[in-house]
Structure 1
Amino acid sequence: MKLMIHNTAAKLIAIRGLRSIGQGAMVVDLTLYLKDLQWSGSLIGSVTSAAGLFGALLILLVGILSDRFGRKRFLVLYELITFFSALWLCFTTQTLVLILAIVITGFGRGQSGAAGPFSPAEQAWLSCYAEQSRRGQIFSLNTAVGFAGMALGAVIGGLPGLYNSGSPLLAYRPVFFLIAVISLLCTVILLSMQDRDEPAEVSVPGVEQRPEKKPGANPEKEHIIWYEENWALLKLALVNSLNGLAIGLTGPMMAYWFSLRFEVSTQEIGLMMAAGFFLTGMFAVINGFLAERFGMVKSVSWMRVAGSLLMLILPWVPSFTLASLIYIMRNSISRGTQGNRSALTVSLTRESRRGLAASINALSNRLPSAVGPTITGYLFDAGQLSLPLTLTAVMQLISAGLYQRVFGGYDKQKV
């Protein structure tokens, strides 16, 4: 069946694709750039953690405010912040400037094209143009486009290692400049868009379809709806917390891990991650169809289990080539479920509260994940290269079981 996409949704997906190019480059380059500037692993991890904490502080606020004031202005603000931060990095290596730019923008965290702490506004906006019966596919397509852009960005991120410029700043400056240009282009596209049209009619899985609250609505019935939505969001937050900590331990630090473990070059790491992001995009599309066939929750749970088992193997692999293949497959399987996870999240509430739902989903992942890089940085400095990967695998296995147990019933709802 042909997948019909609203013009506004198509533009939001295109923006994600553009944005993800810069993010893919920074996943490869940020920790390696800081390593070239003689930063320690603990300092790199601490700054990455600070970026996660700062983003977590904004997430809930952005979600609530975007429900009230619209989504567009928040996404424009994010692009302008990214533009000026990337431009700033083109001209200085001062530690304070680098810390501020990384913390404010979340550079290097690998967000698959999402708008950082402003992503709740983006997801809520996109959900207005995704009918419930096709939401898994549209959000999976959105994820796939993001990972395709990150694949291209990761290739670009490997370029600084191809030539000796005599200075880390000169070597990495073209990457920072590219990010600034992309953010400016995204800003122009956003300014050409209307904030929202009439949202698509959708149903809420697990909750009987009800109209939005209007003056004179039954207060008792409204209270019941709010209770059901809030209870679903609380369960989501609790399950997400364990997975968020697992992600934080390894996600932002894997380029650094490969550099320490196998002493490989920037371009080798860039090509490996590019292949991983490209394959992840393919798995994201596949997951969209698996969600329609087997359910959004089941498609997430089983893929996460498979990815966790591969992560358990990774620390013990002796060669970079084999480790790369395992890491590529692991990332593709696990991260390819992102679209279905987002689709489930925005389906737990009505349209008027989807910014809040997306915020709670992001916050419950980001807050625990923010402490992960600090822990991993200290472990790396202590020579414990395998422990963070093993902990990640074990926690994600437990998280997958909890996710299926808590939300498995949503797959049985007719959508």
Structure 2
Amino acid sequence: MGLAGSGPAAADAGGRGIRAAWREAGATTRQLVTVRALRSISQGALAVDFVLYLKSLGWNATAIGLLLMGGSLAGAGFSLLIGVASDRLGRRRFLLGYEAALAGLTAFLLLTRSLTVLAVAAVLFGFGRGANGTAGPFGPAEQAWLAQDLPPRHRGPLFSLNAAASFVGMGVGAGLAAGFARLAPWLTGWRLTPYTAIFWLTAAIAALNFYQIWVLPEQRPSRPAAAGRPAVETRLRREENRDLVRFGLLNAVNALGVTMVAPLLPYWFAVRYHLGAAHIAPLYGLTFLLAGPLSLAVGSASARVGMARLIVLLRLVSVILLALLPFAPSFGLAGILFLLRSVSNQSTFGVRQAFGTALVRNERRGLAAALNVVTFNLPAALGPVVAGWLFDRGSFVLPFLLSAGLQLLYALLFERVMGTATRRVETV
């Protein structure tokens, strides 16, 4: 990949690594990592149990896919508005609004048990989509705030640390989902089910995160350095816009590939091997827990090897494993393939976020993060519907092959499409 990660700053970042990035991060940055880690606990539980909950209510795979599609479309629309607005108005108020709405609506859901409220909450907050701790459509504001005070050499390591904390939280949440499933007989005495226990968990964590964000100070995004030089500003914006469009097109290909089967995998495991949350949730938990340390390793290596190179190499590994998964004759072998595939794919999550935010300057990072969400969520809305329709017709292999093919295309195109931006981003 040529010059990727070969500059003196990259070597310096490699020497500093994850620990140095954390030491030099400000208190606000550290608190945002903590907030996301806590949020990921509830999302880890929902990533496994929400789809199984809908299945227990009699929803088929197509109906579940349509609900997930609604969440993707809503996320795309709100993310663009919030990302642009957060560049002008600041990030904090939007995250406070997210946590307050999540806590309130989830608590209301527990009181009403209404399917309409359940569907609205799922659409607005992405229940079941396994968002790795992101703040749903408010994620662009959080992502831009996290990157705001980080020097370029620390973005790859710190974003990978942020992702690692999220994966550990997702693992803990998946473990809680398994625990709730096994404690079902005792929960009934408290008028709870394994699924409503998870909604209580979600509401409580949202309330705690609201307080944590409330006490954080915020420095508003500064004006562009080139604001007094119209010609320079125009050139810089043109370059940034070009890179954002290219990255967005790649992101769309990746999104359609990833979401073709990923959100419905708990359903697929349940139907294919006739198992429930007590078996599926521990597998997800172990996957997330292993993805955390590997994400740290990828973040540390990104300064030496290059962010783009690691993204491509690990994606190629995950493509091969995904293509083999539907042919596994037993849950044990399928679980191993799923674990290895998920870990290799998820470990680049933080690096991919860091790469996307580095394409623009600080005052446009809310917009960049929003476009990243939009270009992911729009095609992601289609993936679960297609896979659900095929599952309902007994096709349990074709969705996996379509997903692997699209992700392979993403890996092969990444260097060609983002070559110029890669050299600029990774030699800063």
TM-score, scaled relative to structure 1 = 0.94
Superposed, which structure 2 residues align to 1:186-335 within 5 Å? Answer: 186-196=209-219, 212-214=225-227, 217-335=228-346
- Quote the Cα distance in structure 1 between the aligned partners of 2:127 and 2:211: 21
Pick from 336, 360, 363: which aligns with 2:347? 336
Give the alignment of 1:6-21 within 5 angstroms: 6-21=26-41
Q: Note if contact 2:163-2:350 (Cα within 8 Å) is conserved in structure 1.
A: yes
Distance 1:279 1:378 in 2: 32
Structure 2 residue runs without a partner (length 5+): 1-15
Matched, 1:90 2:113: no
Query: How far apart in 2 are the matches of 1:5 and 1:273?
Result: 31
- The 8 Å contact of residues 155 and 267 in structure 1, kept in 2 or not, is answered as no
Structure 1 letter corresponding to 2:31: K
Matches within 5 A, 1:166-185: 170-185=193-208
- What's the secondary structure of 1:158's corresponding residue? helix
Q: Quick check: 1:29 aligned with 2:40? A: no
For 1:251 and 1:74, how far apart are their aligned partners in 2? 28
Q: Indicate the RMSD between aligned Cα atoms, in angstroms.
A: 1.8
Deviation at 1:43, TM superposition (A): 1.0
* Residue aligning to 1:153: 173
Equivalent position of 2:123 in the other structure: 103
* Alpha-carbon distance change, 92 to 169 in structure 1, aligned in 2, over 3 angstroms: farther
Deviation at 1:93, TM superposition (A): 3.6
Query: Which residue does the alignment assign to 1:62?
Result: 82
Asked if the contact 1:20–1:149 (Cα under 8 Å) also holds between the matched residues in 2, the reply is: yes
Opposite residue 200 of structure 2, the aligned amino acid is F
Give the one of 357, 363, 378 matched to 1:367.
Answer: 378
Letter of the 2:367 counterpart: L
Q: Deviations over 1:242-289 (max 9, x none)?
A: 111112211211111111111112111110000010111112111102
**CA contact 1:345–1:357 (8 Å) conserved in 2:** yes
Q: CA deviation at 1:16?
A: 0.4
Q: In the TM superposition, what is the alpha-carbon distance from 1:197 to its structure 2 partner? A: 6.9
Answer whether contact 1:125 1:196 (CA < 8 A) is retained.
no
> Could you tell me how far apart the structure 2 residues matched to 1:166 and 1:351 are?
50
Measured after TM superposition, the shift of residue 410 of structure 1 is: 4.1
Cα distance in structure 2, aligned partners of 1:352 and 1:29:
39
- Distance in 2 between residues matched to 1:34 and 1:340, nearest whole Å: 33
Tell me what 2:72 maps to.
52
Distance 2:126 2:41 in 1: 15
Q: How far did residue 149 of structure 1 move?
A: 0.2
Residues of 1 paired with 2:27 and 2:327: CA distance?
Answer: 48
State the shift of 1:196 in Å: 2.3
Q: Which segment drifts farther, 151-160 or 112-121?
A: 151-160
- Name 2:3's counterpart in structure 1: none
Aligned partner of 1:185: which letter? L
Contact 1:212 1:352 in 2 (8 A): no
Percent identity between the two aligned chains: 37
What's the offset of the Cα at 1:65? 0.1
Deviations 1:128-173 (A, max 9, x none): 1211011100000000000100000001112342124679973311
SS in 1 for 2:193: helix
- What is the count of residue pairs matched by the alignment? 403
SS in 1 for 2:261: helix
Q: Which amino acid aligns with 2:34?
A: A
User: How far has the Cα of 1:211 moved from its partner?
Assistant: 6.0
Contact 2:140 2:366 in 1 (8 A): yes
Distance 1:410 1:60 in 2: 23
CA distance in 2, matches of 1:368, 1:243: 9
Q: Which amino acid aligns with 1:223?
A: T
Where structure 1 has 5 or more consecutive residues not aligned to the other structure, the ranges are 200-209
Deviation at 1:88, TM superposition (A): 2.5
- The residue aligned with 1:115 is 135
Rounded to whole Å, the distance in 2 between the matches of 1:345 and 1:367 is 17
Q: Could you state the TM-score of these two structures normalised by the residue count of structure 2?
A: 0.91
Residue range with higher mean Cα deviation, 234-243 or 400-409: 400-409
2:164 maps to amino acid = A
